[in-house]
Amino acid sequence: GAVVSQHPSWVICKSGTSVKIECRSLDFQATTMFWYRQFPKQSLMLMATSNEGSKATYEQGVEKDKFLINHASLTLSTLTVTSAHPEDSSFYICSAMAPRGAETQYFGPGTRLLVL
Amino acid sequence: EDQVTQSPEALRLQEGESSSLNCSYTVSGLRGLFWYRQDPGKGPEFLFTLYSAGEEKEKERLKATLTKKESFLHITAPKPEDSATYLCAVQGRGGGADGLTFGKGTHLIIQP
**Per-residue pLDDT tens digits for A56-91:** 999 999 999 999 999 888 899 999 999 999 999 999
Residue of B nearest to A34 (CA): B99
Of A26, A27, A82, A78, which Cα lies nearest the Cα of A52?
A78
Between B34, B99, B101, which is nearest A104 by CB? B34
pLDDT value of residue A53: 81
Burial label for A86, CB within 10 Å (0-12, 13-18, 19+), is exposed
pLDDT value of residue A1: 65
Residue of A nearest to B93 (CA): A103
pLDDT value of residue A17: 97
Share of chain A above pLDDT 70, in %: 96
Q: How far apart are CA A107 and CA A94, in angstroms?
A: 6
Q: Which residues of chain B have pLDDT under 70?
A: 94-97
Higher per-residue pLDDT: A100 or B23: B23
* A25 DSSP assignment: E
**Above 90 in pLDDT, residue A33?**
yes
DSSP notation for B82-109: G-EEEEEEEEE-GGG----EE---EEEE
> Do A85 and A23 form a contact (C-beta atoms < 8 A)?
no
pLDDT value of residue A16: 97
pLDDT tier for residue A2 given thresholds of 50, 70 and 90 = confident
How close A103 gets to chain B, by Cα (Å)? 8
pLDDT value of residue A100: 62
pLDDT value of residue A51: 85
Residue of B nearest to A112 (CA): B41
The mean pLDDT of A40-64, rounded to a whole number, is: 90
CA A111 from centroid of its chain's CA atoms:
9
Interface of B with A (CB under 8 A): 31-32, 34, 36, 41-46, 49, 87, 89, 91, 97-105
Share of chain B above pLDDT 90, in %: 86
Residues facing A28 on adjacent strands = none
Give CA separation, A67 vs A19, A61, B15, B40, in Å.
10, 11, 44, 25
How close A62 gets to chain B, by Cα (Å)? 14
Torsion sign over Cα B51, A104, A100, A54: positive
* Peptide bond just before A8 cis, omega within 30 deg: yes
The mean pLDDT of A44-56, rounded to a whole number, is: 90
pLDDT value of residue A103: 75
